[in-house]
Amino acid sequence: MRKQNILRMFLFVVFFSIGAGALSVSILCDDLLQYYDNKRQMRLEEESLNQLVSLNADYDALLSQLEKDPDVVDRIAPASLGTEPAHTDAIYPKATAEQLAAARKALMESQSLQSKGPMIPNWLARCSKPYRRVILFSAGACLVLVSFVWFGPAKDQGDQKQPAN
């Protein structure tokens, strides 16, 4: 009798846990979708914040160089603005439009690879469809009911009173 009660308790826990999990997922599906979307948005915002911090550091370094050496503007301006250098013996590399387009494409690809990451899990995307949520809810409710009806506490046969004649 003891082994039978242990088996009943084990089956009750298994069926009830699976049913409760299915019910929870079907009910909280919208909240889980929102959680993963918020997580993705936060990661994107952190990446853009890191880019802004990097740009600020670069501009601070440039400003400190400008304060230390005022001739830096004369050296940087022709390369930045694309004008001819004031010194005839200075050599500045010139990039062609194809080279600039290739560099821009490579930068965009690296940024798009960084922004991609774990999105919504596949199981959650499948469960988020309305008809699947209804099926998941029904299956979970059935499993919970089955666990209570079939694997609930057993009545002892010796405790039942015999009807008096």
HSE-CB at 51 with a 13 A cutoff on CA atoms is 10
Determine contact, residues 127/133, Cβ cutoff 8 Å. yes
Between 78 and 127, name the one with better pLDDT.
127
Note the pLDDT of residue 163. Answer: 60
d(C-alpha 57, C-alpha 54), whole Å: 5
| Tokens standing for residue 139 | 């299956």
d(C-alpha 134, C-alpha 29), whole Å: 11
Please give the average per-residue pLDDT across 79-96, as a whole number: 69
Determine contact, residues 129/29, Cβ cutoff 8 Å. no
Nearest to 90 by CA among 112, 69, 75, 70: 75
Judged by average pLDDT, the poorest of 16-20, 32-36, 154-158 is 154-158
| Chain mean pLDDT for the chain | 82
What pTM value is reported for the model? 0.60
What is the separation, in whole angstroms, between the first and last Cα of the chain?
31
Binned at pLDDT 50, 70 and 90, residue 71 comes out as: confident
d(C-alpha 63, C-alpha 54), whole Å: 14
Residue 57 reports pLDDT greater than 90: yes
d(C-alpha 21, C-alpha 147), whole Å: 13
